[in-house]
């Protein structure tokens, strides 16, 4: 890894933002420092400044050189690449995606799960299977577990959700461990009685909704073809005030709503405040597919989203970069835990590396009733960190995604090691916007940087 591959500089909103890739340190530098930086990174002698800057600017360029050099000495610029021989904790099973229903009352046009059936017969999980999955999870040495009730549509099997949640909590308490529960629903059948039961379950809820009425109805019709916006929106607005911060509204944007910030504005207008809005992943050729040609427009959308977050504060899941309690190096290098720390279980008990592989026989690891049959799949996924993904090793965002989504890599490139290019580009845009937002928030709170040239210029420009 060269020094040049261990930093990333981008500019937006009058700020030059410099990231030290291995540590994730973030600096704001002015234009002079931005011009000095490549020379320092290339290992040039300081005398090069005499040739590169007009005489009047040389004293400040010298000063910028010293200040950047000090960052390097402190270990927050050009820091060395760490190496990790294994996943944190060795890769124990910690999370379960329980497909309690392979059926759905919607027919979303972009559904990766074949509108809920995952390519098989429509079916529900019984409690014996859910219990066996929970027992398998709790047999690992982890201390904190996660279980997501997923589908299809899990509300079609709410009795089993309730029974399983109670069992998991009882087991966790008996074992002295912690279990976090979530449920992902389209909200269509979430009537008053169901809402009461969900609130009583005391779990985190992910509510799927695509924003503006026309957008939502175009992508998320009911099984009979009728629009679902009114019913779902009414149900979501009825339950959200009872959930506090224990919810996210989760949308998908497609080629039909590349201006997805309009959908987030719509959610804000509805009074919602916690969102996730993610790009659809579809094979090329669909009228909803996103393409590389969409990137410049989408880039602008992410910048607009960051500005909107400054203007009308809300929580956007993928802007949540926790600088106070950030993760350790090994975790950031290893990325998604699919197939190792995270598995999905189908209604018949079939075990798969994650929800996106469910229904694909070649990726079946085993069955909760009969045990693990194919250990080689776990071995394959165990190796999937950034060190084994060549494309990631030169990417500045590698410690922000840990190598990206394995399923997307497989579906687009038939390779777990070759990341999904469009997804990578979008992730980098989103990460820059997230960092920009954090920097703006930090600068507005910090008045001690009085003579910082870049900030002054920025403030004057406002």
Looking at beta carbons only, is 170 or 446 nearer to other proteins?
446
- The pair of three-digit structure tokens given for residue 317, joined into one six-digit string: 């899941």
CB of 205 to other proteins, least distance (A): 10
Looking at beta carbons only, is 142 or 194 nearer to other proteins?
142
Alpha helices in 176-256 (DSSP H): 192-201, 213-219, 229-239
Q: Is 263 helix (H, G, I), strand (E, B) or coil?
A: helix
CB of 379 to other proteins, least distance (A): 17
Strand residue runs (E) in 300-420: 315-316, 342-345, 350-352, 366-367, 371-372
Looking at beta carbons only, is 143 or 191 nearer to other proteins?
143
Please give the DSSP secondary-structure letter assigned to residue 154: G
Give the H/E segment covering residue 97. Answer: strand 95-99
CB of 343 to other proteins, least distance (A): 9
Please give the DSSP secondary-structure letter assigned to residue 79: P
Q: Are 387 and 329 in contact (CB under 8 A)?
A: no
CA distances (Å), origin 422, targets 143, 336, 417, 452: 36, 18, 15, 37
CB of 193 to other proteins, least distance (A): 26
- List Cβ neighbours of 84 (8 Å cut-off, separation of 6 or more): 329, 330, 333, 334, 385, 387
CB of 26 to other proteins, least distance (A): 4
Looking at beta carbons only, is 215 or 434 nearer to other proteins?
434
Looking at beta carbons only, is 125 or 434 nearer to other proteins?
434
Count, residues in the chain: 462
CB of 3 to other proteins, least distance (A): 16
CB of 338 to other proteins, least distance (A): 7
Q: At what angle do helices 421-445 and 406-413 cross, to 10 degrees?
A: 150
Looking at beta carbons only, is 11 or 327 nearer to other proteins?
327
Looking at beta carbons only, is 230 or 309 nearer to other proteins?
309
Q: Is 343 helix (H, G, I), strand (E, B) or coil?
A: strand
């Amino acid at each position: 890894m060269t020094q040049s591959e261990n930093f990333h500089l981008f500019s937006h909103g009058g700020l030059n933002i410099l990231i030290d890739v291995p540590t994730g340190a973030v600096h704001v530098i002015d234009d002079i420092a931005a011009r000095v930086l490549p020379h320092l990174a290339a290992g040039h002698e300081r005398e090069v400044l005499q040739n590169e800057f007009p005489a009047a600017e040389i004293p400040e360029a010298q000063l910028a050189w010293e200040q950047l050099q000090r960052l390097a000495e402190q270990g927050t610029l050009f820091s060395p690449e760490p190496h990790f021989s294994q996943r944190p904790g060795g890769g124990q099973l910690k999370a379960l995606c329980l497909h309690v229903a392979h059926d759905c009352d919607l027919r979303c046009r972009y559904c990766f799960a074949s509108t809920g059936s995952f390519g098989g017969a429509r079916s529900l999980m019984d409690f014996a299977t859910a219990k066996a999955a929970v027992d398998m999870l709790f047999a690992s040495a982890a201390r904190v577990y996660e279980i997501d009730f997923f589908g299809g549509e899990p509300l079609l099997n709410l009795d089993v959700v309730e029974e399983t949640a109670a069992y998991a909590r009882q087991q966790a308490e008996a074992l002295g461990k912690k279990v976090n529960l979530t449920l992902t629903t389209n909200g269509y059948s979430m009537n008053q009685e169901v809402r009461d039961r969900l609130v009583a379950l005391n779990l985190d809820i992910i509510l799927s909704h695509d924003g503006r009425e026309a957008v939502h109805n175009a992508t998320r019709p009911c099984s009979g073809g009728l629009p679902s916006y009114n019913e779902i929106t009414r149900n979501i607005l009825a339950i959200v005030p009872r959930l506090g911060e224990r919810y996210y509204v989760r949308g998908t944007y497609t080629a039909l709503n590349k201006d997805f910030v309009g959908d987030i504005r719509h959610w804000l207008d509805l009074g919602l405040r916690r969102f996730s809005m993610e790009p659809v992943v579809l094979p090329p050729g669909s009228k909803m597919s996103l393409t590389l040609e969409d990137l410049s427009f989408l880039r602008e959308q992410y910048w607009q989203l960051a500005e909107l977050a400054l203007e009308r504060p809300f929580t956007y899941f993928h802007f949540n970069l926790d600088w106070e309690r950030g993760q350790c190096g090994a975790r950031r290098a290893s990325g998604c835990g699919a197939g190792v720390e995270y598995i999905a279980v189908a209604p018949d008990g079939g075990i798969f590396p994650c929800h996106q592989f469910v229904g694909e026989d070649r990726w079946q690891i085993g069955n909760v009733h009969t045990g693990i049959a194919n250990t080689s799949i776990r071995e394959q996924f165990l190796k999937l960190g950034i060190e084994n993904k060549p494309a990631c090793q030169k990417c500045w965002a590698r410690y922000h995604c840990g190598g990206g989504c394995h399923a997307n890599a497989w579906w687009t490139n038939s390779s777990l090691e070759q990341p999904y290019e469009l997804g990578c580009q979008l992730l980098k845009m989103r990460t820059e916007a997230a960092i920009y937002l954090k920097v703006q928030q930090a600068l507005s709170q910090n008045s001690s940087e009085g003579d910082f040239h870049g900030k002054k210029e920025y403030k004057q420009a406002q």
